[in-house]
Amino acid sequence: MKLKAYTKRKNDMTDTINNSIGKSIVVCSAPMFYDQLLTAFSDDIETKQRYDIIRNVFARVIEQGIMDCQIAFVGFFAKLDYCLKEYDVPLAASNLIQLARKDMFPERNKKQDLTEEALNTSLPHNLKATALLIYYLCGKIEIPTSIKNNFPQSDRTKNSWGKFEENVLRVVVEKWDSDYIYATEENENTTILISYGKENKVLTRNGDFSWEYLNDVLWEGAQLNLVRVRRDESGKIFIPELIILEPDYLINVTTIAGCFESYAESPFVNLVNKIKPQPNTSAIHLGNLAGQLLDNAIHARDISLEDSIKSFVSTNALSMISCPELVNGFAQFKQDAEIQKQNIEHLIGEALPHVIGSYDKGNVILEPSFFSEVLGIQGRLDFLYQKDGDITIIEQKSGKGEFVRNQSDASTPTAKMTHTIQVLLYRALFQYEFQTYSSQLKHIMLLYSKYSNGLLLIPQSPELLLRAIKMRNLLAWTEIMYAKEGMELLKTLTPEKLNMNGLTGRLWDQYVRPQLSELLSPIHYASSLELAYYLRFLRFIQNELLLSKVGNKRKENSGFATIWHDTLEDKKSAGNIYDKLSIKDFVCEDEAVSSVILEFNEPQSADSTNFRIGDIVILYSYIKDEVPNACSDIVIRASIVDIKADTIELRLRNSQTASQVFDKPEGTLWAIEHDMLESMTSTLFSAMHGFLSGTKQRRDLILSQREPRVDASLTINGEYGRFNTLVTRAKQARDIFLIIGPPGTGKTSFGLVNLLKEELTEPDSNVLLLSYTNRAVDEICSKLVEIKREQPDFDFIRIGSDLSCSEEYREYLLSSRSTKVEGGNGLNKLIKNTRVFCGTTSALNANMSLLKLKHFTLAIVDESSQILEPHLIGLLTAHDKEKEAIDRFVLIGDHKQLPAVVQQSVEESIVNEPELNDIGLTDCRLSLFERLLSRFKTANGYDERFVYMLTKQGRMHRYIGEFPNQAFYGGCLDVVPLEHQLLPDKAIKTDHGIMKMLCSHRIAFVAAEQPRLSPSLKTNIIEAEMIAATVYQIYQLTKDSFDKDMTVGVIVPYRNQIATVRNAIDRYGVDILHDITIDTVERYQGSQRDYIIYGFTIHQMYQLNFLTDNVFEEDGMIIDRKLNVAMTRARLNLVMIGNPKLLSMNVTFSRLMDFVRSKGGYFDVTKEDYCSGRF
């Protein structure tokens, strides 16, 4: 099995403005880029700004050069290398361009503070290189003389080879044969010859290990890390100690070890593991409890086993009480736990000091994480202890050791190969990533807590480590292959094909083979349509995982690999890092550090980053004056609890024994970056596999092979006023019903709540309320609390974590409720007696055990248009034998507002299978809600048996809602009307233009001139000052009733502009205005304010691509989802500020400005006159 060649398509690089569906797809031409370069040489511009302009153009030319290429590039070097080769750039020019790349985009994690003199020296060279890049990539249009006049008198020369960086060298594969790889080296842009055959005695360990498998898995453009590089006597052949394929795709250590099975040593074992249902066994729970007992032992907590189990059950309530083995086997579980507890306390307290000497438990780090860009692996250790440079690593295992026939000592286990591989990879990580000496890695151990003599010292095993590295490389290959080519292999996979080790006997016949057969048989028995659906979404999910790791072309600074690829400057610009932090305080629970409070050593407001409360993050230390590097040290995983102006609080994923774990040498600082959880994706693979084993009736419904059932004889029991028709139709739909909820139509307050109330009038009914975001679930909880006030007997439970739940609703979390009942029987009773459960779809996907414990008659899914099919498929097809776990579904959404955030482009997510197109599945990025809407479409609208559209909006003033109604909803909406929707213009005596505008025009557009110079194309100081002046006048107008959370909000497209606007507002000196919400439209969806100011920000035509990246056409209407959401957040007034010349190039924006003109609300005035009110 080999990777097929990637699809490569070249753009002609001419100016393109495609207004066919209202979206401007702008490709800059060479003259446009040349004009932008010339701005760098304006007289009144600083050298640093010149440098930034050239750097920006250089980057944009590269991004445009790969725009239509389907390769998932990682890092700037790979992108540039592709362009230079694809566009046949001559070697001399290529060398100059690569030198400029090294200048303007320095090596990963390398500090670069260039002096003014150094910048002035390099500037002409970088200008020439950028101009050459434009010339070759954009149609070979002659470079203007005005640019050439600023070229250097002579070119720089490329450095000759010096001594290599000893540890790692990054290269891009050009070609290969059975002995050598020809590749382009990152630092010098030179083709080098890499020996990987038998002649490389270092790599092959004197010929004992073969790397010939690389011959079958390499492809042109693949990236390699050459680790510990040497050269032969001629200096021409490079001899690495290890070769790592696609190192930016980090593979988990446990995933690598898991591929060493009794029946096979193969990456395809991981394919089987991907689709397995989430296991729920007594052994898994015992292992997790053993981890908690190890924590207790390290922390020296005097906690009884009874209390430990009670605490464990409260945080694992659903899976514990739904575990079949624990129904009648809980007594045995407690007995096994007691043995684990005794052994752990003995091994940690007595056995370990005998091996490593006395040790300070306060310095033990529990469950630290590691990212190794050198080896392409990541992992999380159970136990790490460092003293005087010596390192102790312990990995805990609660199960049995390797089976050894006639083993004489039952108290001493034999290490399993899979477990040995884990600790060997951790050892290699310290050796190669942290460059730790072997002599320091003395104590690499496994702790088998089932055995009284379970502490095993694991020696080095070079041969087994190389097998593990091979597996890591093969996993990277298969993971990329699955994303690009799909998992068609599953169609022909059988237990016999997987049995590569030729396993026989009882283990194979009675255990392994039946389990594999049961897992794979639904694939073999699926219809061609079911199989096509299943495989297409598996590929989509896998590609999302790939792009979330390595980044996508649609968004700058995306992908987890930016942690080691992006410069600090890029991270700050993208808002992806907090640096220069110091630890201020700790929060302790049960005598262990549970939270850390860090303070900013320089201003870093939340506006300049994209971190939010509840986000999962990594915390790591670095030396002052060095660049923060998460790969250079251990990483602590955490979640953000709070962000203030001067501090940020993190809750640690794993509590630490003492604060001294965080003690570092003087001059140490801390950094925070975003984390990524692959477990969120892994549940989707098993959910898709669950689809194949769902009931035929439900599979046919999902695949449009039968019409949804309707019982027109059913009537409602309650009275719901103007919503009676909605509630009746939803009740009569016995499979699925869709509610379209345009902005302000009360889809939650009235739609969801009335359906819930009606369902609860039926005996034995249970309702599951779901949404995409935690904020929406908070809103659902607020409605449920209102019902509880009216009906004290009403109760509900929320599934999820406390950090993702608003504090006022945490008492309803299952984790909180479970602490107030006794044992499993009490939990079962609580779940049985509670009729309403709520949570996000991701929370439910992670807690599918609930559907084994409780049958639901109805599930109402809010925000359905933001939820992709794989996120719902597990819930839709959950069943117990032939009975569905959930009888009926009501999906509430609005496909004309913002959809789910997806990494893939249209070209990547498009569905080409004819049988899937026939059921309306044309693009994997579309929600199930949208696909079903298209199915229920009729000549006159929608089939009213299955679809209901809410048409009375109670949010926007009638004049604000007029344009969205006509442009996006075909005139179907009307006001309720509520009092504020009919308010007349305010009669107020004022000479201030902004005040007059606010009082006489509910919707206004203010023309802003283009800034002549700006430090960033993602900031616009002119618009920022106009926005600030508007906010201040709104404050003056509403001073007596001003509410920072409700009165005014600002929407801008870029995070950089948020801080610019905030600073402009702060200059007015009104403290309360500092706390108003300034955010992107994506963050504003679901919110509203009395006054909304929408600043378009853009300077260049190509930025229209970003503003209009959510556009589609329906019934002849061009639907701009972003604009729709932005405009419909406003209740009383909407003010839009932007550059009309640029915006008019888009048909929808042009129509919007024409509409505002027709209402007399268009203002064309200078910034100075606008801000001072002189108009």
69-113 confidence digits (pLDDT tens):
766 677 788 888 889 988 999 988 998 998 899 888 876 655 566
- Residue where one domain finishes, among candidates 426, 442, 469: 469
Residue 247 amino acid letter: P
For 964-1008, the pLDDT digits (tens) are 999 999 999 999 999 999 999 988 889 999 999 999 999 999 999
Instruction: List the structure tokens of 365.
Output: 């780090």
- Residue where one domain finishes, among candidates 86, 117, 148: 148
Kindly give, in sequence order, each residue whose CB lies less than 8 Å from that of residue 213, ignoring residues fewer than 6 positions away: 470, 473, 474
Q: Do 603 and 576 have their domain in common?
A: yes
Residue 233 forms part of a structural domain: no
Q: Do 656 and 732 have their domain in common?
A: no
CA distance 1017 to 1104: 12
Its sign, for the CA torsion 167, 169, 170, 172, is: negative
pLDDT of residue 114: 67
- Is the model's pLDDT at 162 over the cut of 50? no
Instruction: List the structure tokens of 717.
Output: 């029991």
Q: Determine how β-strand 856-861 pairs with β-strand 767-771.
A: parallel
Q: What's the pTM value of the predicted model, to 2 decimals?
A: 0.91
- Is the model's pLDDT at 925 over the cut of 70? yes
- Residue where one domain finishes, among candidates 950, 984, 1010: 950
Q: Determine how β-strand 636-643 pairs with β-strand 647-656.
A: antiparallel
Distance, first Cα to last Cα, the chain: 71
CA distance 409 to 898: 63
For 113-157, the pLDDT digits (tens) are 667 787 888 899 999 999 999 999 999 999 999 999 999 988 887
Q: DSSP secondary-structure letter at 509?
A: I
Residue 993 forms part of a structural domain: yes
Question: Can you give the CATH number for the domain in which 292 is found?
Answer: 3.90.320
CB atoms within 10 A of CB 852: 17
In 1038-1083 the beta strands, taken as DSSP E runs, fall at: 1048-1051, 1077-1079
In 657-697 the beta strands, taken as DSSP E runs, fall at: 668-674
CA distance 9 to 13: 12
CB 427 within 8 Å of CB 417? no
Q: Do 1026 and 1060 have their domain in common?
A: yes
pLDDT of residue 23: 47
CB 843 within 8 Å of CB 803? no
Closest CA to 1010 of 1106, 1081, 1103: 1103
Q: Do 975 and 831 have their domain in common?
A: no
Closest CA to 873 of 924, 798, 945: 924
CA distance 969 to 1085: 18
For 173-185, the pLDDT digits (tens) are 999 999 999 999 9
- Is the model's pLDDT at 8 over the cut of 50? no
Question: Can you give the CATH number for the domain in which 587 is found?
Answer: 2.40.30.270
pLDDT of residue 1165: 96
Its sign, for the CA torsion 809, 810, 815, 820, is: negative
For 328-364, the pLDDT digits (tens) are 889 999 999 999 999 999 999 999 999 998 898 888 9
Closest CA to 522 of 512, 509, 531: 531
Instruction: List the structure tokens of 254.
Output: 């446990």
Q: Do 909 and 973 have their domain in common?
A: no
Residue 171 forms part of a structural domain: no
pLDDT of residue 679: 75
For 505-538, the pLDDT digits (tens) are 999 999 999 999 999 999 999 999 999 999 999 9
pLDDT of residue 485: 94
Q: Do 989 and 1117 have their domain in common?
A: yes
Q: Do 318 and 377 have their domain in common?
A: yes
Whose structure tokens read 């001399």? 92
Q: Do 663 and 762 have their domain in common?
A: no
Q: Do 946 and 964 have their domain in common?
A: no
Question: Can you give the CATH number for the domain in which 1064 is found?
Answer: 3.40.50.300
- Is the model's pLDDT at 18 over the cut of 90? no
pLDDT of residue 109: 57
Q: DSSP secondary-structure letter at 681?
A: H
State the average pLDDT for the chain. Answer: 91
Closest CA to 415 of 457, 383, 384: 457
Residue 812 forms part of a structural domain: yes
pLDDT of residue 27: 80
CA distance 219 to 477: 10
Instruction: List the structure tokens of 493.
Output: 């996979």
Its sign, for the CA torsion 874, 880, 881, 882, is: negative
CB 670 within 8 Å of CB 598? yes
Q: What's the mean pLDDT in 942-950? A: 98
Q: Do 80 and 51 have their domain in common?
A: yes
Residue 568 or residue 468, greater confidence? 468
Q: Do 964 and 945 have their domain in common?
A: no
Residue 555 forms part of a structural domain: no
DSSP 833-897: H--EEEEEHHHHHTTTTHHHH--EEEEEETTGGGSBHHHHHHHHH-EETTEESEEEEEEEE-TTS
pLDDT of residue 825: 86
pLDDT of residue 72: 66
> Phi and psi dihedrals of 662, rounded to 5?
-95, 0
Query: Which residues, listed in sequence order, are joined to residue 723 by a DSSP beta bridge?
Result: none
Name the CA dihedral angle for 305, 308, 312, 313, rounded to a multiple of 10 degrees: 60
In terms of residue numbers, what domain contains 582?
Answer: 566-674
For 1054-1100, the pLDDT digits (tens) are 988 998 999 999 999 999 999 999 999 998 988 999 999 999 999 99
Q: Do 973 and 1097 have their domain in common?
A: yes
Residue 542 forms part of a structural domain: no
**What total of structural domains would you count in the chain?**
5
Residue 55 forms part of a structural domain: yes
Report percent pLDDT > 90 for the chain.
Answer: 74
Whose structure tokens read 């401007």? 24
For 627-637, the pLDDT digits (tens) are 999 998 899 99
> Phi and psi dihedrals of 209, rounded to 5?
-130, 135
Query: Which residues, listed in sequence order, are joined to residue 16 by a DSSP beta bridge?
Result: 27
- Is the model's pLDDT at 16 over the cut of 70? no
CA angle (28 as vertex; 25, 34 as ends), nearest 5: 165
- Is the model's pLDDT at 14 over the cut of 50? no
In 220-351 the beta strands, taken as DSSP E runs, fall at: 223-227, 230-231, 237-239, 242-245, 251-252
Residue 1045 or residue 164, greater confidence? 1045
Peptide bond into 977 cis (omega under 30): yes
CB 757 within 8 Å of CB 774? no
> Phi and psi dihedrals of 808, rounded to 5?
-70, -10
CA distance 288 to 396: 10
CB atoms within 10 A of CB 1089: 24
Whose structure tokens read 């508007």? 1030
CA distance 971 to 961: 10
For 288-315, the pLDDT digits (tens) are 999 999 999 988 888 999 999 988 988 8
Residue 660 forms part of a structural domain: yes
For 1127-1147, the pLDDT digits (tens) are 999 999 999 999 999 999 999
User: Can you give the three-state secondary structure of 874-887, one letter per residue?
Assistant: HHHHCEECCEECEE
Instruction: List the structure tokens of 253.
Output: 């250590």
CA distance 845 to 876: 11
- Across the beta sheet with 455-457, the strand order is 365-366, 383-387, 390-397, 443-448, 455-457
